[in-house]
């Protein structure tokens, strides 16, 4: 898929904080939100991130722009809901990281720093207690327990 104009779709299912099933007419596809990385469902704060996103977009019409497919066949997208950027909403509420390996947008970095300062979402115990999902995915079970405990609020 090449960069295209914004389309609209209904959110059929939220899989986790950054992956969704969208229905654009008769076309249903799995979409991965660009620019953020949310905790995995089994990771500390993963279910909370899922609940936040699910409550925000499940069953609703969203605007999206697809850019390409990732190695898992998911369409990489930017999404807006009610004129607001979903990536910004998720980050500002403290439920995802700005994915700096793939994006350098200052506004999203500032939103993440503000969520950290305000101790929102996964940042409730500060940034030393969180385990980024890109590390979590690479750890074996022993290291997940050792390095990804999170805080106990």
What residues act catalytically?
32, 40, 74
- Could you tell me whether strands 27-33 and 75-81 are parallel, antiparallel, or unpaired per DSSP bridges? parallel
CB atoms within 10 A of CB 107: 13
- Whole-angstrom Cα distance, residue 69 to residue 94? 26
Tokens representing 142? 């022993």
């Amino acid at each position: 898929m090449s960069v295209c104009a914004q389309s609209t779709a209904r959110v059929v299912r939220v899989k986790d904080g950054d992956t969704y099933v969208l229905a654009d007419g008769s076309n249903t596809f799995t979409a991965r939100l660009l620019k953020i990385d949310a905790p995995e469902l089994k990771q500390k704060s993963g279910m909370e991130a899922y609940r936040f996103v699910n409550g925000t977009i499940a069953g609703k019409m969203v605007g999206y722009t697809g850019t390409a497919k990732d190695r898992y066949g998911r369409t990489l997208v930017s999404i807006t809901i009610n004129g607001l950027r979903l990536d910004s909403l998720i980050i500002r509420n403290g439920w995802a990281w700005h994915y700096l390996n793939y994006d350098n947008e200052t506004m999203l970095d500032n939103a993440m720093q503000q969520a950290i300062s305000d101790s929102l979402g996964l940042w409730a115990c500060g940034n030393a207690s969180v385990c980024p999902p890109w590390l979590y995915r690479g750890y074996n079970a022993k290291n997940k327990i050792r390095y990804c405990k999170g805080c106990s609020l």
